[in-house]
Structure 1
Amino acid sequence: MTVLVTPKALANQTVRDFKMLIDGKWISGNAAPIERVAPSHGVVVSRFQAGSKADALRAIAAARKAFDTGPWPRMTASERSAILLKAADLIAARADELAYLDAIEAGKPISQVKGEIAGSVDIWRYAAALARDLHGESYNTLGDGTLGVVLREAIGVVSIITPWNFPFLIVGQKLPFALAAGCTCVVKPSELTSGSTIVLGEILQEAGVPDGVVNIVTGTGAEVGAIMTAHPDVDMVSFTGSTGVGKLTMTNAAQTLKKVSLELGGKNPQIVFPDADLDAFIDAAVFGAYFNAGECCNAGSRLILHKSIASDVVARVAALAKHVKVGDPLDPTTQVGAIITPQHFDKIAGYVAAAKSAGAEVAHGGGALDLGMGQFMAPTILSQVTPGMTVAREEVFGPVLSVLTFDTAEEAIEIANSIDYGLSAGVWSKDFDTCLTIGRRIRAGTVWMNTFMDGASELPFGGYKQSGLGRELGRHAVEDYTETKTLNMHIGSRTNWWMPRT
């Protein structure tokens, strides 16, 4: 049964007020709280503390103390692993609450978010396993007088800054691995979607994470994020967001030469050859373009189609797009929810208008949907797009699919690699020689073959070029939060360098 929640009904529910977590205590800020208006219903649903620079400084100091003198880095790996496993169980127990918060604050379909929470539980459990597998190296081959041991030590205090499009999933791609390594953290979620991350703070306290190990400061990037990326007591910054803000983050971190991990934007191509399974591809194209309303760095926002099949594919994608259900995120049958803010909606609409002016044609959608509440955009397809158009080169971050064409494989590779991003890509052909040849030449961190946007906790995720630095997930994810230290041990007597003259 479809369950619709009207703005009036939602407004009658209690608005949830959240606090910040600093050094094990839940505190309020000194400024007026940030009110989050649900993008789907247009009513206030959450209030977050407007954290200040002073709050960020207290959180950094707490994390520094917890790392330098607290028990967390000194626990055995099995002890940290047990706490992370308990956290995973508690996340699963509160999955409905977490899913509701992400759905209503971000405008995401509730069914989709429940899948993201389940995925996050798996990531926390995977990180718990990696905690016990973190190890260094030994070298017993350096001669009778030398033994070399390479240690992996937690890097220290980590600032974790997460975006609004996957509020709970993305903090789960960072925080458990940092904790598994023995680090302490300051977390700043987006000021638009902080609720689920704050609940995570409650969960971690219940799981047994000591005070000061995880601190959560809400607020804006200018007020809170800037000091988190620049402060000398922070040893590493892990940031997910736009490429522009990623560059600013890197600039701030460079002042003290911090380690930086950046997961940034994407303009991801799907290259389709005439022999592809088009039935499978059509579904993947619609999913890749409109999943999470296109507000996804991994969105398959560029179709690069062989000219012989382009017209047919565009028509079939448009036909399927008509059946995509856009609407109330709290309706379990909804597939595409609301656009995050009115300002972002205007930005997406601006890209569509500019593309039309440049000669692109709207094959489907192209504008707002009036559902009587919130801000919703129709799934949009732009055909007749050329590689030089802005809409073919920049990340729109909305439900807009750009269609380009090619004659030869070389041309397809050139189009795919011609932009500043290199996060992910897809190749579609029944000839696996074609898939592997194209896949090896695409400059992207992930290349899917005859599928799109699949993933697993074991598989690294990250991009080439301006899509970021470093990788998340995978068996080396915990190592990213460590430093290596060489212990060079001399055995027996040592030959003097200075010899007295006779």
Structure 2
Amino acid sequence: MQYSQYISGKFRQGSSEINYEVINPSTSEILGTLQFTSAQDIQEAIQSALQAYKVWAKTSAYDRSVKIRQIANLMYTRVDVIAEKISLELGKPLAEAKKEVQTAAEMFEWASEEARRIYGKTIAPRNPNMKQTVVYEPVGVVAAFSGWNAPAITPARKISAALAAGCSIVMKPSEETAGVALKIAEIIHELDFPKGLVNMVFGNPEEISNILCESTDVAMITFTGATSIGKSLAEKASKHLKKLTLELGGHAPVIICEDVDVDKVARAAVVSKYRNAGQVCTSPTRFLIHESIFADFCEKFTAHAKQIKVGSPLDGQTQMGPLKNSRRLAAIEQLVKNARELGAEISAGGERLEKLPGNFYAPTVIIQPNLDVDVNHIEPFGPIAILKSFTSLDEALQEANRLPFGLASYAFTQNFQYIQRISNEIESGVISINDWQASLPETPFGGVKDSGLGTEGGVEGIHEFLKIKTVRIAS
């Protein structure tokens, strides 16, 4: 594939002298070379987005809806092509990759429908000769940043909501999965949107973020990624009081009560935990299991984890692919080493799969690690599950809320009183009870505490890209 920038409606090479190699994590082979963007390129992207915004913001909601729906329709026809690109660049098994593309297309479809439903309101005046209304307007040019772990979903979520609201966007997807984002750009390019409405720039993250955050022509920053980077972006954005949404890291707890079907929950838990090799911000990680079923659950979870077929993402039998890069591999190895040194039991995995050529690591299960173990505090973002027992629901809730993260949480029980308490007391942006799905196109998604600011998805996610104007007219 020819990797490139997408600026002002054109696919072209960046004007920086720096070249970046996109690597296949399954084979360590080079998929292609990407020439980085320069400061001049980024400024051009901002200016083209500004000009496109002036046109798009005046486009009727109906027409915006029709155009965005066309993106979804084309994406549905290209599921296989985009999914293969995800498998090659990220290492996600092909079946999972197809589901991701399907969801990304649904995000455009949902946004197209909601573009027609951005309603204002009338407020009863104190004076009968006065009219008071509230209208919602697009915020302006949006700067968006996304990581590599959901290379179709995350750009789709940001682009679709921005376009539905009437905004333009300068998107910096991850260079590591640049080809997936460019597939979305190709679809937009074919549909004859205003030139510059959607731009994609790839390059030095700090340089790009500095320029976008400092530009007075950029009205909003939206970021998905690590908490530390999100806080840095928030500081930069605050200098110009830009609107901001942040979807940051998590360390999701799972409370499993004594009344569950142990084998059923353990089997499904393994599937959810090792999806995308655990490289998912909402990945269930800290499994808190009632002491009465703890031994049985650990045995069944471990057995299912050991049966996972790890291999090439293009093999239809593969259930888990590689880690994305050597950085993640080294991080996982260090977390497991630390757990071993502090005496934690590792009932499955705990080792790199040397027989495979890429960044492969075995699905790993750590049982009852004490609080000194690093993985109790650090989001693994990889194929590590932590299994711990609890005696009372109070104890489980305390542990679930112990960390400064609150993105996604899960619980399994049929006890109505437990469900009420868990729903009310867990500190998390999303709580999924008796189910493993944390977000859908139609539901709001965002974290609390160090897991984020603002919301993506659903009607609420589109409203993040709008500003409120009160209009008072006296007759």
Is the structural similarity TM-score above 0.5?
Answer: yes
Asked whether 1:19 is paired with 2:17, we answer: no
Could you tell me which amino acid in structure 1 is paired with residue 119 of structure 2? H
- Aligned residue for 2:170? 186
Could you tell me which amino acid in structure 2 is paired with residue 142 of structure 1? R
Q: Is the 8 A contact 1:237 1:259 kept in 2?
A: yes
TM superposition shift of 1:359? 2.8
- Give the Cα–Cα distance (whole angstroms) in 1 for the partners of residues 387 and 108 of structure 2: 38
Q: Is the 8 A contact 2:64 2:115 kept in 1?
A: yes
SS of the residue corresponding to residue 464 of structure 2 reads helix
SS of the residue corresponding to residue 234 of structure 2 reads helix
SS of the residue corresponding to residue 287 of structure 2 reads strand
Asked whether 1:130 is paired with 2:132, we answer: no
Q: Is the 8 A contact 1:46 1:195 kept in 2?
A: no
SS of the residue corresponding to residue 174 of structure 1 reads helix
Q: Is the 8 A contact 1:387 1:404 kept in 2?
A: no
- Give the Cα–Cα distance (whole angstroms) in 2 for the partners of residues 362 and 115 of structure 1: 31
TM superposition shift of 1:223? 2.8
- Give the Cα–Cα distance (whole angstroms) in 2 for the partners of residues 226 and 284 of structure 1: 43
| Superposition pairs of residues 133-212 of structure 1, within 5 angstroms | 133-212=117-196
Asked whether 1:37 is paired with 2:31, we answer: no
- Aligned residue for 1:57? 43
Q: Is the 8 A contact 2:430 2:438 kept in 1?
A: no
| Superposition pairs of residues 386-465 of structure 1, within 5 angstroms | 386-465=370-449
| Compared CA separation, residues 442 and 220, structure 1 to 2 (3 A) | same
Deviations 1:382-419 (A, max 9, x none): 11223453211211111001122211111111000010
| Compared CA separation, residues 363 and 202, structure 1 to 2 (3 A) | same
Runs (5+) with no aligned partner, structure 1: 1-15, 492-502
Of 277, 296, 299 in structure 1, the residue corresponding to residue 261 of structure 2 is 277
* Higher mean C-alpha displacement, 122-131 vs 43-52: 43-52
- Give the Cα–Cα distance (whole angstroms) in 1 for the partners of residues 437 and 113 of structure 2: 25
Q: Is the 8 A contact 2:431 2:438 kept in 1?
A: no
Could you tell me which amino acid in structure 2 is paired with residue 335 of structure 1? Q
Runs (5+) with no aligned partner, structure 2: none
Q: Is the 8 A contact 1:165 1:295 kept in 2?
A: yes
TM superposition shift of 1:143? 2.6
- Aligned residue for 1:113? 97
TM superposition shift of 1:454? 5.0
Could you tell me which amino acid in structure 2 is paired with residue 274 of structure 1? E
Q: Is the 8 A contact 1:284 1:451 kept in 2?
A: no
- Aligned residue for 2:364? 380
TM superposition shift of 1:224? 1.9
Could you tell me which amino acid in structure 2 is paired with residue 266 of structure 1? G
Q: Is the 8 A contact 1:426 1:452 kept in 2?
A: yes
Q: Is the 8 A contact 2:267 2:300 kept in 1?
A: no
Deviations 1:177-200 (A, max 9, x none): 100111010011101011111121
| Compared CA separation, residues 372 and 389, structure 1 to 2 (3 A) | closer
TM-score normalised per structure 1 = 0.92
Q: Is the 8 A contact 1:366 1:380 kept in 2?
A: yes
What is the identity percentage for the equivalent residue pairs of Structure 1 and Structure 2? Answer: 34
SS of the residue corresponding to residue 111 of structure 2 reads helix
TM superposition shift of 1:329? 0.8
- Give the Cα–Cα distance (whole angstroms) in 1 for the partners of residues 254 and 372 of structure 2: 17
- Give the Cα–Cα distance (whole angstroms) in 2 for the partners of residues 28 and 466 of structure 1: 37
| Compared CA separation, residues 474 and 387, structure 1 to 2 (3 A) | farther
- Give the Cα–Cα distance (whole angstroms) in 2 for the partners of residues 51 and 318 of structure 1: 46
RMSD: 1.3
SS of the residue corresponding to residue 337 of structure 1 reads coil
- Aligned residue for 1:28? 13
SS of the residue corresponding to residue 164 of structure 1 reads coil
TM superposition shift of 1:17? 1.7
TM superposition shift of 1:117? 0.6
TM superposition shift of 1:288? 2.5
- Give the Cα–Cα distance (whole angstroms) in 2 for the partners of residues 201 and 220 of structure 1: 20
- Give the Cα–Cα distance (whole angstroms) in 2 for the partners of residues 443 and 181 of structure 1: 30
Deviations 1:27-58 (A, max 9, x none): 21232431111000111113223112222111
Could you tell me which amino acid in structure 2 is paired with residue 293 of structure 1? A
Q: Is the 8 A contact 1:277 1:428 kept in 2?
A: no
- Give the Cα–Cα distance (whole angstroms) in 2 for the partners of residues 46 and 166 of structure 1: 20
TM superposition shift of 1:277? 2.0
Q: Is the 8 A contact 1:458 1:475 kept in 2?
A: yes
TM superposition shift of 1:76? 0.5
Q: Is the 8 A contact 2:310 2:319 kept in 1?
A: yes
SS of the residue corresponding to residue 239 of structure 1 reads strand
Ranges of 4+ aligned residues in structure 1 off by more than 4 Å: none
- Give the Cα–Cα distance (whole angstroms) in 1 for the partners of residues 470 and 437 of structure 2: 40
| Compared CA separation, residues 413 and 388, structure 1 to 2 (3 A) | farther
Deviations 1:327-375 (A, max 9, x none): 1011122111111111220011111111222232111101101233111
Asked whether 1:326 is paired with 2:302, we answer: no
Asked whether 1:220 is paired with 2:180, we answer: no
- Give the Cα–Cα distance (whole angstroms) in 1 for the partners of residues 313 and 242 of structure 2: 39
**Is the radius of gyration larger for structure 1 or structure 2?**
1
- Give the Cα–Cα distance (whole angstroms) in 1 for the partners of residues 168 and 129 of structure 2: 38
- Give the Cα–Cα distance (whole angstroms) in 2 for the partners of residues 376 and 110 of structure 1: 16
| Compared CA separation, residues 207 and 269, structure 1 to 2 (3 A) | same
Could you tell me which amino acid in structure 2 is paired with residue 34 of structure 1? Y
SS of the residue corresponding to residue 135 of structure 2 reads strand
Q: Is the 8 A contact 2:92 2:276 kept in 1?
A: yes
Q: Is the 8 A contact 2:263 2:300 kept in 1?
A: no
Could you tell me which amino acid in structure 1 is paired with residue 9 of structure 2? G
- Aligned residue for 1:76? 60
TM superposition shift of 1:211? 0.2
- Give the Cα–Cα distance (whole angstroms) in 2 for the partners of residues 477 and 101 of structure 1: 27
Of 342, 349, 352 in structure 1, the residue corresponding to residue 333 of structure 2 is 349
Q: Is the 8 A contact 2:262 2:296 kept in 1?
A: no
Between the two proteins, the alignment pairs up a number of residues equal to 474
